Amino acid sequence: MRRVAITGAGAVSPVGNSPSEFFSNLMEGRSGVRRNTSAFSESLFVRIAAESDFNPLDHFSKKELGLLDRVSQMAVIASRQAWKDAGVTLSEEEKLKSGVSVGTAMGGAGSLESTYVQLYRENASKVKPLTVLMAMSNAPASHISMELGFKGACLSYTIACSSSSVAIGEAYRLIKHGGADVMVAGGAEALLTYGVIKAWESLGILAPEDRDDPSASCKPFSRNRNGLVLGEGAVMFVLEELESAKRRGARIYAELSGYATTADTFHITKPSVDGQARTISLALEDASMVPEDIDYINAHGTATELNDLVETQAIKKVFGDFAFRVPVSSTKSMHGHMMGATGAAELLAAVLAVHNQALPPTANLVEKDPACDLDYVPLKGRTGVRVRSAMSNSFAFGGTNAILIVRGA
């Protein structure tokens, strides 16, 4: 089996528009959660979100923007960064074995919603002709593939919160088994629209605004946690066959060494300890590792009462007594729950933890839930630590679990 290197990364996120800015802000515990800046925010019950801040006109012409929903804009920007970061040059023949794999939970939600507004509020008889092309979930992957000229696999995964972790994991498998030599893989999400937020409000799992500090509203593993905060953004990676990357003298952030995905077949929203634990065990097996080999876990850590408890129990079920010695953190406390992009964002945190030998914290964790009793790296990041390997957890509505493991190259 071939090994897989991560040689490039790009990010558009609520905590920074480059990997270095992203990780620096995480390490300092700086949150991207703030009051929603949209014109419709006064009509919301929950008026906080983790928005990404960028100007599309800095990256695209007006003509190009006519075909790009916000989700595709962020995906393309992040992939451009990652490709430049990797410094890869491919021949036309090599592009035949190069591909794209992108996760997104809702695709072009903004384009679809604006069409519904035209139809049902404004009684329009016609809508924008390009609506379907902007809203379709495979648009981000297609735009990246066309921009880079890749003619291999062009894959899109829509699996709620596990979308981008599965997209990255399946890209890893393609390279591992010889189906591709280079893949751009990650996730993108742009769901901070009025209709989507109202739908999430109805589920009753969004955190209310913290009265003292809106940026502190997401509190994973805390005694007083009370829900997740929606976020948006895109994170992309360049994955290459390891030996090829070494031969060209590539800078290697980490080796992607383990992946597993399973279904709970338990409940559409409630997580399963057994399902999560089984996925963690399978990923460790794929990486030829044991729990004691893991130096850091980036948790799914949504800050909902049940999810944080179940994830803690799943980690303890697999790791046993070692669970109390491995640092665990939830960076959702700062970048929010980016849904289809969140697995990629959390893998970036894990990759840079290995690359920089530093641990990002769980922000806003002032008082732990006694039932969530692991080392959650509260409030501030840790430097000067040994991080040989890291695990990133993703657990989705619908019961799809995905685990990614990286280790130093």
Please report, in tens digits, the pLDDT of each residue of the chain (409 residues total): 899 999 999 999 999 999 999 999 999 999 999 999 999 999 999 999 999 999 999 999 999 999 999 999 999 999 999 999 999 999 999 999 999 999 999 999 999 999 999 999 999 989 999 999 999 999 999 999 999 999 999 999 999 999 999 999 999 999 999 999 999 999 999 999 999 999 999 999 999 999 999 999 999 999 999 999 999 999 999 999 999 999 999 999 999 999 999 999 999 999 999 999 999 999 999 999 999 999 999 999 999 999 999 999 999 999 999 999 999 999 999 999 999 999 999 999 999 999 999 999 999 999 999 999 999 999 999 999 999 999 999 999 999 999 999 999 8
**Is residue 59 annotated as a catalytic residue, yes or no?**
no
- From 143, 337, 355, 372, active-site residue: 337
Whether residue 177 lies in the annotated active site: no
What pLDDT is attached to residue 403?
99
CA–CA gap between residue 38 and residue 256 (Å, rounded):
38
Sequence ranges of the domains in the chain:
4-247, 255-407
The tally of CA atoms less than 13 A away on the side-chain side of residue 251 is 10
Do 4-247 and 255-407 show the same overall fold? yes
Catalytic residue among 143, 300, 335, 355: 300
pLDDT at 409: 86
Q: Exactly one of 161, 218, 335, 372 is catalytic; name it.
A: 161
Question: Are the C-beta atoms of residues 218 and 361 closer than 8 Å to each other?
Answer: no
Answer yes or no: are the C-beta atoms of 26 and 14 closer than 8 Å.
Answer: no
Architecture of domain 255-407: 3-Layer(aba) Sandwich (3.40)
Produce one character per residue of 38-50: b if its CB has 16 or more CB atoms within 10 Å, e if not.
beebeebebbbbb
Residue type, 139: A
Q: What is the CATH number of domain 4-247?
A: 3.40.47.10
| CA–CA dist 89, 99 (Å, integer) | 14
User: What pLDDT is recorded for position 164?
Assistant: 98
Query: How many contiguous H segments (helices) and E segments (strands) does the chain have?
Result: 13, 14
Strand boundaries in 293-395, DSSP class E: 297-298, 328-329, 358-359, 382-383, 389-395
